């Protein structure tokens, strides 16, 4: 399952209100189209030798496309991270729709002429946030397989949950989380930060991004979640050895204070990266499951559940469930910058316990303790039986 930038735009916003297209003269497929609520723009130039050219514009990044007219609609293709993504632009009942991978979004034709060549800006502003904060005084926390360690501010405590760390202070109605991620650059992180407008859950959050030191970004969301005023702040940083960590604080707007912001900065400033150590145990498990599909089957009360996890040798995985999407895991609030059912995987060992880590492209980390079972074609994930079988879903 390839990563689809268009799907990411639509799924992150969940629902988009209808915007009716304007009536233009000449070729109705030529011009400038947009959905301001989604932050999506589309520019289509007049065809030359029957070939249309233009670009999608999303958060300051442009994705050129080419296409042709088919059955009265524009059928085109753009490239995202080396993948050719098909889309169509059609006018139905006076409304323009852009469709890609089964997802449709209505757009307004704002001009009969293509957009000017000037670059557009992302709605998330770019500035510089000070990284000054008191030094951490607590014990250093981490393990060799994680590739990072950190220290706590005075009077803060931590517990480890599902590969992440939950950090709290008594009497403070807010919490901080620290979790690894597998983004490869600050630019990739920046591309996955955008405003959230979800009318169904009454969630509206505006994002701002600023530089934080040499290898980090400071990200803040302001607004409301499920109707309640909320603040989310984080420092996301990249490691010279790949991936990185995010330190995230969240709380009700009335309870959020500079004390939380300072603690986030103190923890982030204390992070040290090392090359992750791969133990022989982790390497053995990696060799056993790489290039395989892990299959879970369960039947109860007249219903059946099926889960598959394809672990590709490239380090990518594909996840499928016919029941419901897996819950749990720590999200760094990147809000589905990519396809939520795929990501990268690796195996680490915590002492004598091997652990499968799934880094979803949505920003969520899910962990499965691994265990051997009596049958050679079975393993345990979180104590549940999974079958190991060949996969046809890897390149």
What are the angstrom distances between the C-alpha of 214 and each of 110, 261, 280? 40, 19, 34
CA atoms within 13 A on the CB side of 284: 10
What are the angstrom distances between the C-alpha of 26 and each of 29, 68, 93, 193? 9, 16, 18, 38
Q: Report DSSP state, residue 138.
A: S
| CA 71 centroid distance within chain | 36
Q: Report DSSP state, residue 195.
A: -
- Asked: is 5-111 a CATH 2.40.128 domain? The reply is yes
Nearest partner of 237 among 344, 345, 348, 332, judged by Cα:
332
| CA 169 centroid distance within chain | 28
In tens, the pLDDT along 374-392 reads 999 999 999 999 999 999 9
What is the longest distance spanned by two Cα atoms in the chain? Answer: 71
- Tokens at 121, concatenated: 């800006």
In 10 A of CB 352, how many CB atoms?
Answer: 7
**Which residues does the chain have with pLDDT short of 70?**
1-25, 38, 58-60, 80-83, 102, 116-127, 302-303, 323-340
What are the angstrom distances between the C-alpha of 53 and each of 46, 68, 153, 227, 267? 8, 9, 54, 42, 48
In 10 A of CB 246, how many CB atoms?
Answer: 27
What are the angstrom distances between the C-alpha of 334 and each of 200, 206, 289? 19, 12, 29
Q: What's the confidence (pLDDT) of residue 116?
A: 66
Domain 126-273 superfamily per CATH: Mog1/PsbP, alpha/beta/alpha sandwich (3.40.1000.10)
Whether the CB-CB separation of 366 and 329 falls below 8 Å is answered with yes
Q: What share of the chain is helix, strand, coil (3-state, %, to 5)?
A: 10, 50, 40
Q: Where are the domains of the chain?
A: 5-111, 126-273, 280-390
For the stretch 130-133, contacts whose Cβ atoms lie closer than 8 Å and that sit 24 or more positions apart, written own/partner, are 131/212, 131/213, 131/216, 131/265, 131/268, 131/269, 132/265, 133/262, 133/265, 133/266, 133/269
Q: What's the confidence (pLDDT) of residue 105?
A: 84
What is the fold of 280-390? Lipocalin (2.40.128)
Rounded CA Rg of the chain: 23
Stated as kind and residue range, the H or E segment containing 36 is none
CA dihedral (190, 39, 43, 55) in degrees, to 10, reads: 20
The reply to whether 126-273 and 280-390 are identical in fold is no
Whether the CB-CB separation of 267 and 175 falls below 8 Å is answered with no
With tokens 């505006």, the residue in question is 206
Q: What's the confidence (pLDDT) of residue 19?
A: 25
């Amino acid at each position: 399952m390839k990563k689809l930038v268009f799907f990411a735009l639509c799924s992150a916003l969940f629902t988009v209100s209808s915007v009716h297209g304007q009536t233009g003269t000449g070729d109705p497929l030529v011009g400038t189209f947009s959905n301001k609520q989604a932050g999506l723009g589309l520019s289509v130039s007049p065809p030359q030798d029957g070939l249309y050219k233009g670009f999608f514009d999303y958060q300051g990044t442009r994705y050129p496309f080419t296409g042709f007219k088919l059955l009265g609609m524009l059928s085109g293709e753009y490239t995202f991270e080396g993948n050719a993504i098909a889309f169509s632009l059609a006018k139905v009942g006076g409304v323009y729709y852009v469709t890609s991978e089964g997802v449709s979004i209505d757009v307004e034709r704002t001009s009969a002429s293509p957009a000017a060549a000037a670059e557009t800006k992302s709605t998330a502003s770019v500035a510089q946030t000070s990284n000054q904060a008191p030094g951490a005084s607590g014990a250093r926390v981490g393990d060799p397989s994680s590739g990072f360690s950190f220290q706590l501010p005075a009077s803060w405590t931590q517990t480890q949950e599902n590969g992440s760390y939950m950090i709290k202070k008594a009497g403070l109605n807010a919490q901080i989380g620290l979790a690894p991620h597998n983004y490869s650059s600050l630019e990739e992180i920046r591309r996955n930060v955008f405003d959230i407008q979800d009318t169904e859950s009454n969630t509206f959050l505006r994002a701002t991004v600023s530089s934080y030191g040499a290898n980090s970004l400071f990200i803040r969301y302001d607004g409301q979640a499920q109707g309640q005023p909320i603040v989310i702040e984080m420092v996301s940083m990249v490691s010279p050895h790949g991936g990185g960590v995010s330190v995230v604080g969240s709380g009700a707007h009335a309870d959020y204070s500079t004390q939380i912001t300072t603690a986030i900065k103190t923890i982030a400033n204390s992070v040290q990266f090392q090359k992750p150590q791969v133990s022989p145990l982790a390497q053995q498990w990696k060799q056993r499951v790489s290039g395989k599909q892990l299959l879970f089957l369960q039947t109860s009360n007249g219903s059946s559940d099926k889960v598959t996890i394809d672990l590709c040798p490239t380090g990518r995985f594909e996840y499928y469930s016919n029941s419901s999407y897996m819950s749990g895991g720590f999200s760094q609030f990147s809000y589905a910058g990519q396809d939520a059912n795929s990501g990268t995987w690796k195996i680490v060992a915590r002492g004598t316990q091997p652990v499968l880590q799934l880094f979803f492209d949505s920003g969520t980390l899910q962990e499965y303790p691994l265990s051997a079972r009596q049958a050679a074609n079975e393993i345990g994930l979180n104590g549940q039986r999974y079958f190991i079988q060949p996969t046809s879903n890897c390149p």
